[in-house]
C-alpha cells in the first residue's frame, strides 16, 4: 500500500515562494509516490481576523495556485476542509483527550496571541487539535510542511499516541517531510518568516515586474553600506534565496562578487529576480488558463470532497465505535 499524505494551507492570501519551497515542492514529489490529500484549510483561516467575502475569494485563489503549481487532480485529492465535516467531528473527540497545557506551549499560538491580542479565541488555542484531526482522519503517514509547522506535527503525533493508548491502536504516528528550503524569510524583515498576512513575500503569480518591485528594496547584509564595501553573503537573505533558486555556478559567482565587492546588491538581486520569474513562468501561464475555467475547478473540488468523505467517514466510524459513540 502507498503511504498516505495530508497537508493544507490557510486561505489567507495567494501563495508565496515560502509556501512553495517550504511545502508545495514536496507535495509535487510525493504525489507520484504516495496517496495524497491536499486541502485549503478554511476552518483554520477563521482563527485569525478575516473578511468573510475575502475568504470566499481566497479559497478559490489558493486552489488555482495548487493546480497551477502542478498538483494533479488525477494523482491527488484536492479538498476544501469545510466540505469534509468529519474533520471537525474528529477534532472534537481528539479535543477531549488533549491536555490544555499541551496547546498553551505551542509557539505559533503564542505568536498569534502577540500579533492579535484582541482576537484570542478558543479556535486559535485548539488549532493544533483540528490540524491533528485533518491529518489523522485520513490515517496519514506523512505531512509535508514548512519548518514552522513542526510543533504542530509533534502534537499530532502525541495526540495520536494518546488516543491509541486509551482506545486501542487506530492511528499511525504521522511524520513530517521537510524540504531544503524549509524556512524562507521575509524580504522586509529577514528575522521573520515570509508570510501571506505578514507581507515580505513574492507571490507565485507575481509578474516579473512585480517580482522586481519587491526584490529591489529587499533587506540585504545591513553592514554593507556602499557598493565598494565587501558584503557577507552568509547573513544576506537574498543569498539564501539564491541558494534555493539559482544554478550552482551562479551561487558561487554571487557569493564571490559580494565578498569582494565586485558588484552591488542590485545586480545580485537582478539575477535572482530573473531566476524567480523564469521558474514560475509556466505557473503564470497555467494559472491564467485555469482562471478561465471555474467549472473545471469546481468539479475537481466536488470529486475531491466525495472521495475524501468516503475515507474520512470510515475512520470516524471506527473512532466512534472505540470511544463509545458508535
Ligand atoms: N516562509 C515560509 N517558509 C517555508 N515554509 C512556509 N510555509 C509558510 N510560510 C513559509 C509553509 O506553507 C504551508 C502553509 O502554511 P499556512 O498557510 O497554513 O500557514 P502559515 O504557515 O502561517 O503560512 P503563511 O503564509 O505565513 O500564512 P499566514 O500569514 O496566514 O499565517 C505550511 O506548510 C507552512 O509551513
Domain with CATH 3.40.50.620 in the chain: 4-184+294-323
> Hey, whose CA ends up nearest to atom 33 of ligand 1?
145
pLDDT value for 182: 76
Q: Examine the pLDDT at 199 and tell me if it is beyond 90.
A: no
pLDDT value for 33: 96
The SS3 call for residue 9 is strand
Strands of the sheet with 4-9, listed across from one edge: 77-80, 35-40, 4-9, 142-144, 175-177
| Confidence (pTM) | 0.95
Q: Could you tell me if the CB of 18 is within 6 A of ligand 1?
A: yes
Report phi then psi at 85, rounded to 5: -65, -15
pLDDT value for 110: 93
Q: Examine the pLDDT at 194 and tell me if it is beyond 80.
A: yes
Convert the pLDDT of each residue in 130-173 to its tens digit.
Answer: 999 999 999 999 999 999 999 999 999 999 999 999 999 999 99
In CATH, which superfamily holds the domain spanning 4-184+294-323? Answer: HUPs (3.40.50.620)
Site to probe by mutation for ligand 1, drawn from 41, 149, 176 as the one with most ligand atoms within 8 Å of Cβ, is 149
Mean residue pLDDT of the chain comes to 96
Domain with CATH 1.10.240.10 in the chain: 208-279
The grid coordinates of residue 208 equal 516579473
* Cα-to-centroid distance, 19 and ligand 1 (Å): 5
d(CA 169, CA 298): 37
C-beta separation of 273 from 215 below 8 A = yes
Q: Could you tell me if the CB of 233 is within 6 A of ligand 1?
A: no
User: Which of the four pLDDT bands, split at 50, 70 and 90, describes residue 180?
Assistant: confident
Mean pLDDT, residues 291-319:
98
User: Which of the four pLDDT bands, split at 50, 70 and 90, describes residue 62?
Assistant: very high
pLDDT value for 198: 85
The SS3 call for residue 151 is helix
CATH code of domain 208-279: 1.10.240.10
Convert the pLDDT of each residue in 89-136 to its tens digit.
Answer: 999 999 999 999 999 999 999 999 999 999 999 999 999 999 999 999
Q: Could you tell me if the CB of 19 is within 6 A of ligand 1?
A: yes
Site to probe by mutation for ligand 1, drawn from 18, 59, 112 as the one with most ligand atoms within 8 Å of Cβ, is 18
* Cα-to-centroid distance, 230 and ligand 1 (Å): 33
List active site positions.
112, 193, 196
Residues 6+ apart with CB under 8 A from 92: none
Q: Could you tell me if the CB of 190 is within 6 A of ligand 1?
A: no
Amino acid at each position: 500500500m502507498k503511504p498516505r499524505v495530508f497537508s493544507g494551507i490557510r486561505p489567507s492570501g495567494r501563495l508565496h515562494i515560502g509556501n512553495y519551497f517550504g511545502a508545495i515542492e514536496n507535495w509535487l514529489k510525493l504525489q507520484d509516490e504516495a496517496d495524497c490529500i491536499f486541502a485549503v484549510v478554511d476552518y483554520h483561516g477563521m482563527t485569525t481576523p478575516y473578511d468573510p467575502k475575502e475568504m470566499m475569494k481566497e479559497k478559490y485563489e489558493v486552489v488555482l495556485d495548487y493546480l497551477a503549481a502542478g498538483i494533479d487532480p488525477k494523482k491527488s485529492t484536492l479538498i476544501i476542509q469545510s466540505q469534509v465535516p468529519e474533520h471537525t467531528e474528529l477534532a472534537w473527540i481528539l479535543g477531549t483527550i488533549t491536555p490544555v497545557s499541551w496547546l498553551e506551549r505551542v509557539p505559533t499560538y503564542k505568536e498569534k496571541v502577540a500579533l492579535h491580542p484582541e482576537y484570542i479565541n478558543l479556535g486559535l488555542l485548539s488549532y493544533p487539535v483540528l490540524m491533528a484531526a485533518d491529518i489523522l482522519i485520513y490515517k496519514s503517514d506523512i505531512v509535508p510542511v514548512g519548518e514552522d509547522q513542526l510543533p504542530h506535527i509533534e502534537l499530532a503525533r502525541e495526540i495520536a499516541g494518546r488516543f491509541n493508548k486509551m482506545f486501542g491502536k487506530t492511528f499511525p504516528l504521522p511524520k513530517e517531510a521537510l524540504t531544503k528550503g524549509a524556512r524562507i524569510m521575509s524580504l522586509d524583515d529577514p528575522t521573520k518568516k515570509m508570510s501571506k498576512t505578514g507581507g515580505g513575500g513574492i507571490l507565485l503569480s507575481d509578474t516579473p515586474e512585480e517580482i522586481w518591485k519587491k526584490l529591489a528594496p529587499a533587506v540585504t547584509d545591513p553592514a554593507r553600506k556602499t557598493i565598494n564595501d565587501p558584503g557577507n553573503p552568509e547573513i544576506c537573505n537574498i543569498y539564501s534565496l539564491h541558494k534555493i533558486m539559482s544554478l550552482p555556478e551562479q551561487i558561487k559567482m554571487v557569493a564571490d562578487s559580494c565578498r569582494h565587492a565586485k558588484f552591488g546588491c542590485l545586480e545580485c538581486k537582478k539575477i535572482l529576480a530573473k531566476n524567480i520569474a523564469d521558474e514560475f513562468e509556466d505557473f503564470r501561464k497555467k494559472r491564467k488558463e485555469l482562471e478561465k475555467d471555474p467549472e473545471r475547478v469546481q468539479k475537481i473540488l466536488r470529486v475531491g470532497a466525495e472521495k475524501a468523505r468516503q475515507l474520512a467517514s470510515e475512520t470516524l466510524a471506527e473512532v466512534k465505535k472505540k470511544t463509545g459513540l458508535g
